[in-house]
Amino acid sequence: MEDTPSMTTPSRDSTLTFREVTEENWRAVANLSPKDGQIGNLAPNTLVGMLMMAIWDPDEAYYIWRFMIDGRYQGLGYGRRGVEFAIAHIRQHNPQAKQLGVMSTPPEGKMSGNPAKNVKPEDSPYKFYQKLGFRETAPPDEDGEIMMSIDL
């Protein structure tokens, strides 16, 4: 596997595969860049994003710790397919798991004292997760982030 993404441009119809982040490909993951304002999905061997999950309780909940699609490939369905793949993976490998959770900025965005942490409404992933069936499960935390989850 290459250290950097290949020059093949993914499209909406590209096959999506998940691969482990390894010593050989971690730089390509580290070099992903979301769209302006946003803080291992692969298509034709081109790295388009990454999804990292944590297991809080194997019998209860998994958590999307980090999920990012490179800004060049957003809007092509990779995000939706990535979450669907993650859900299928959990169901296959741990059928007793009950929920998949994720933290999101609110749909109206977020302003803070630190400009680097500001999120415009159009850059919040809230509506993306909501369209996939995630629902708010807790009030905003001290950073204004909202816990969302979907039943597995």
Residues 62, 100 contacting (CB under 8 angstroms): yes
pLDDT score of 132: 97
Residue 81 lies in a domain: yes
pLDDT score of 88: 92
The residues, any chain, with a CB within 8 Å of residue 42's CB and separated by 6 or more, are 16, 17, 18, 19, 48
pLDDT score of 151: 96
Q: Which structure tokens are listed for 114?
A: 């630190």
CA pseudo-torsion sign 3, 31, 21, 71: negative
pLDDT score of 7: 54
81: domain CATH number? Answer: 3.40.630.30
Rounded CA separation 124/14 (Å): 26
Residue 145 lies in a domain: yes
pLDDT score of 128: 96
Quote the number of domains for the chain: 1
For residue 2, the SS3 value is coil
CA angle 145, 32, 73 (to 5 degrees): 90
pTM of the model: 0.70
Per the structure, the complete domain to which residue 92 belongs is given by 49-151
pLDDT score of 37: 53
- Digitized pLDDT (tens) for each residue of the chain, 152 residues in all: 344 445 577 787 877 777 777 778 777 777 776 555 544 333 456 778 889 888 877 778 899 988 999 888 899 999 999 999 999 989 988 899 999 999 999 999 888 777 777 888 898 999 999 999 999 999 888 888 999 999 99
Residue 117 lies in a domain: yes
pLDDT score of 45: 65
Residue 108 lies in a domain: yes
For 45, left (φ over 0), alpha (ψ -120 to 50), or beta?
A: left
Residue 131 lies in a domain: yes
